[in-house]
Amino acid sequence: MIRVAARTVCAWECHWRIVVLPKNLVWAAFAALLAIAALHRPAAAQEKTITVFAAASMKNALDGVDAAYTKSSGVKVVASYDASSALMKQIEGGAPADVFISADLSWMDYGSQKKLINDSSRVNLLGNKLVLIAPKDSKIDSVTIGPGFDLAKLADDGRIATGDVKAVPVGLYAKAALEKLGAWAAVEPKMAMTSNVRAALVLVARGEAPLGIVYSTDAKVEPGVKIIGVFPDDSHPPIIYPVAATASAKPDAIPYLAFLRSQAAKTIFESYGFAVLTKPTS
């Protein structure tokens, strides 16, 4: 039992008396007060989180940008990284994403056609380079990539790692470049296709594949590899990263998109090797 003070009020006098209440009744009242307080908490405190689905090659740079955004806005960013193809299929399947950042235009176009993105928010944000990599201790130092480039001979009896050439953007770029250079027919049997660009990067860094085709920004963040050649820009479609809010995005997605175009974000993206395609908004 718990004793509490209660005041008795009457017409001619007032005095205090001790009332003994059952302990379970006191705790029930306390719990009720906590529930009422929770109901009156500002809704915004529970909504300051956005979910971003972004191409795997963006992880290091975007993690830095997101940390800066959270520090300045108080909005937490939950990022999910994978191949653009896989992410868009997840969004199509109902995954709760607020922002989508693709490593190519085709998967953003797909989202637009399926009414999965907010077209008015779409911007071509970043650019990148396609490179040939080898393990850091490889005897291959540098090659010139151009018409007639014999990549199959360079690989010898090893494999060439890149993303799935049927769906993953880096694989699509790689196949286009190799076809343009006349190397695809000979090299196709030697391709080791992965679910995303970072998986290809890992195969080369571990020495499981002697060569790989990835983005220059991937090679920059992986100490276990080195760039041995750069594919000519005209050998494949421009590497462009479009960004947009999804059709079901929370309102907090719009200021986040604005931050991606800020000078602060530009500085971070460029430090990781990305080309920023938009003029900073602030």
**pLDDT confidence of residue 280:** 86
**Model pTM greater than 0.85?**
no
pLDDT in tens, 153-191: 999 999 999 999 999 999 999 999 999 999 999 999 999
**Which pLDDT score is estimated for 19?**
44
What pLDDT shows up at residue 12? 35
Name which of 25-39, 122-136, 255-269 the model is least confident about.
25-39
CATH numbers and ranges of domains, the chain: 2-39 (no CATH), 44-127+239-276 (3.40.190.10), 130-235 (3.40.190.10)
DSSP letters, the chain, are: -EEEEEEEE-SS-EEEEEEEE-HHHHHHHHHHHHHHHHHTS-THHHH-EEEEEEEGGGHHHHHHHHHHHHHHH--EEEEEEE-HHHHHHHHHTT---SEEE-SSHHHHHHHHHTT-B-GGG-EEEEE--EEEEEETT-S-------TT--HHHHHTTS-EEEE-TTTSHHHHHHHHHHHHTT-HHHHGGGEEEESSHHHHHHHHHTTSSSEEEEEHHHHHH-TTEEEEEE--GGGS---EEEEEEBTT--TTHHHHHHHHTSHHHHHHHHHTTPEE-S----
Q: What is the pLDDT of residue 46?
A: 54
